[in-house]
């Protein structure tokens, strides 16, 4: 077997040295906390509190609005100020519960879950659902849905995505380094659900310290292996990760479970540990604050609902005026025009750049060099797809396998003509997906 990797991909500047040696600091939030009711894929949660209610830290404030949805908990104690639309990182206005933090952090009773020894498989899944856990790598897919495949006996691999291939991000790295035992324990809980599965901790080889640490921890774990993957973006993209670790390839229309795999992010697995062992709901996550505009880049344990502006403030603010602020990393993140947005379950980082490379590079004509096709992990031809997308030629777009694009951004990154390939392909995919949903 050739090394653990996939074909295509890019090697952008990693930028991880800015924050990788900064231990996780706990952030004490100030001011109002904002909890968007839609922090996940699926139906928005339904609020169970109303204006004026007093809530405790760890109290349920909104319950799942369907099977594919997730509970939301308050991360502070205080009073519900209002339920209104608030701006979120992607730019939308989303209905949110706004809580005035009283600074007391009065805790709600622990989650009503049984001790792990007495739990049946379904109890574990129910506890994960109760804790409001979603995929914390970015997509926000409710984890209890992932853990409930049609046939649990046909799951052969439970993969933890420890690759953190996104440039600049170090939140997963710090988590692995500082609390690796929680990660391994969390994976063991997942493995309890699938009798035929082996656990894989998939780490990129630019984190040799994590590989070593996890290997030591898993020395006596017959069901868990640690795999060092080649450092390459997008090594952590779900389909590429599954291929790199198991040589099973799935198309865009298949689920990982179809290939016998379940993939979870580091923070998600740790949250499962918190929910089952510590009986704590999901109320906090690790966020990296980084970029060349930030005075003191670092990693923070942040209560969900905290304003991103406060994260920037505790990192010493800006040493130079930023041109661009991104929620997430530079490849897959969302550029924000304002920092008055809350940290949600899927916010992995705030990246602040003094220079906006996109604005500095005006697009010019395609020269047909084929670099986009060379790096495309989905093996499509972005140069052609983007033309079809710009012409709204749905038929050709589908014929050229446009739906197999994973929106990783490699094509836009390498394009010497600086064309917005990913953007136009993404837009067309959205239109087609929306159409399919309707019919």
Partner 1 sequence: MSDLYNVSSGPHVRDKYTTGKIMAIVLLALIPASVYGIYHFGVNAAILIVVSIVSCVLTELIYEIVMKQKITVKDLSAAVTGLLLALNMPPTAAWWLPVIGGVFAIIFVKMLFGGIGQNFMNPALGGRCFLVICFAARMTDFNYDGITSATPLARIRAGEAVNLWDMIKGNIAGTVGETSLIAIVLGACIMLAFGIIDLKIPAAYIISFTIFMGLFSGRGWDVSYLIAQLAGGGLMLGAFFMATDYATSPITPGGKVVYGILLGIMTGIFRCFSSTAEGVSFAIIFCNLLVPIIEKLTLPKCFGKGGEA
Could you list the residues that contact partner 1 (CB under 8 A)? 6-7, 10, 12-13, 91, 167, 239-240, 243, 247, 249-252, 254, 322-326, 330-338, 340, 351, 353, 356-359, 361, 364-371, 373, 377-381, 383-384, 400-401, 404, 409-410, 412-418, 420, 422-423, 426
Closer to partner 1 at the Cβ: 10 or 83? 10
Sign of the Cα torsion 420, 422, 423, 424 reads positive
Closer to partner 1 at the Cβ: 58 or 333? 333
CB atoms within 10 A of CB 21: 13
Give the angle subtended at the CA of 184 by the CAs of 189 and 172, to the nearest 5°: 115
Cβ of residue 360: shortest distance to partner 1, in angstroms? 8
**What's the CA gap between 13 and 397, in Å, rounded?**
31
Cβ of residue 320: shortest distance to partner 1, in angstroms? 13
**What's the CA gap between 322 and 152, in Å, rounded?**
48
Cβ of residue 266: shortest distance to partner 1, in angstroms? 21
Closer to partner 1 at the Cβ: 171 or 339? 339
CA distances from 270 to 13, 83, 181, 303, 304 (A): 28, 30, 9, 15, 15
Closer to partner 1 at the Cβ: 320 or 361? 361
Closer to partner 1 at the Cβ: 195 or 338? 338
CA distances from 46 to 8, 61, 70, 71 (A): 42, 8, 10, 8
Cβ of residue 271: shortest distance to partner 1, in angstroms? 25
Backbone phi, psi, residue 423, to 5°: -60, -50
Cβ of residue 9: shortest distance to partner 1, in angstroms? 11
Beta strands in 181-307 (DSSP E): 198-204, 224-229, 261-265, 284-290, 298-303
Closer to partner 1 at the Cβ: 122 or 252? 252
Cβ of residue 359: shortest distance to partner 1, in angstroms? 6
Closer to partner 1 at the Cβ: 9 or 135? 9
CA distances from 171 to 179, 244, 251, 300 (A): 12, 22, 29, 8
Cβ of residue 435: shortest distance to partner 1, in angstroms? 20
Burial per residue of 363-398, b for 16 or more beta-carbon CB atoms within 10 angstroms, e otherwise: eeebeeeebbbebbbbebbbbbbbbbbeeebeeebe
Cβ of residue 139: shortest distance to partner 1, in angstroms? 14
Closer to partner 1 at the Cβ: 126 or 313? 313
Strands 78-87 and 93-101 turn out to be antiparallel
Whether the CB-CB separation of 243 and 6 falls below 8 Å is answered with yes
Backbone phi, psi, residue 107, to 5°: -90, 145
């Amino acid at each position: 077997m050739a090394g653990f990797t996939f074909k295509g991909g890019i090697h952008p500047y990693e930028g991880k040295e800015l924050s990788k040696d900064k231990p996780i600091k706990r952030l004490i939030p100030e001011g109002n906390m904002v909890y968007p009711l839609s922090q996940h894929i699926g139906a928005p949660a339904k609020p169970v509190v109303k204006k004026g209610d007093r809530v405790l830290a760890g109290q349920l404030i909104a319950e799942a609005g369907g099977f594919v949805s997730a509970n939301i908990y308050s991360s502070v104690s205080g009073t519900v100020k209002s339920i209104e639309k608030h701006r979120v990182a992607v730019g939308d206005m989303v209905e949110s519960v706004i809580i005035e933090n009283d600074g007391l952090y009065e805790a709600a009773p622990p989650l009503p879950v049984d001790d792990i020894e007495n739990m049946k498989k379904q109890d574990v899944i129910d506890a994960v659902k109760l804790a409001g856990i979603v995929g914390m790598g970015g997509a926000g897919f409710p984890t209890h849905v992932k853990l409930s495949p049609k046939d649990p006996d046909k799951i052969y691999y439970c993969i933890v995505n420890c690759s953190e291939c996104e440039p600049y991000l170090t939140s997963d790295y710090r988590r692995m380094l500082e609390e690796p035992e929680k990660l391994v324990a969390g994976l063991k809980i997942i493995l309890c659900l699938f009798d035929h599965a082996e656990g894989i901790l998939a780490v990129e080889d630019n984190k040799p310290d994590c590989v070593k640490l996890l290997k030591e921890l898993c020395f006596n774990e017959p069901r868990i292996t640690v795999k060092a993957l080649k450092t390459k973006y997008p090594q952590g993209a779900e389909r590429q990760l599954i291929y790199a670790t198991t040589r099973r390839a799935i198309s865009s229309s298949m689920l990982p479970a179809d290939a016998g795999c379940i993939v979870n992010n580091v923070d998600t697995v740790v949250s499962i540990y918190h929910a089952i062992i510590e009986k704590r709901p999901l109320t906090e996550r690790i966020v990296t604050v980084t970029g060349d505009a930030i005075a003191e880049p670092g990693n923070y344990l942040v209560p969900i609902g905290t304003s991103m502006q406060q994260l920037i403030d505790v990192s010493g603010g800006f040493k130079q005026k930023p041109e661009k602020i991104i929620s997430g990393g530079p490849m897959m993140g969302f550029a924000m025009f304002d920092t008055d947005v809350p940290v949600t379950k899927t916010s992995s980082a705030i990246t602040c750049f003094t220079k906006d490379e996109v604005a500095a590079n005006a697009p010019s004509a395609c020269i047909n060099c084929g670099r986009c096709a060379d790096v495309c992990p989905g093996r499509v031809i972005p140069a052609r797809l983007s033309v079809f997308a710009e012409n709204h030629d749905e038929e050709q777009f589908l014929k050229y396998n446009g739906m197999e694009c994973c929106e990783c951004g490699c094509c836009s990154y390498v394009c010497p003509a600086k064309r917005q390939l990913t953007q136009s392909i993404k837009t067309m995919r959205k239109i087609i997906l929306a159409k399919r949903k309707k019919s």
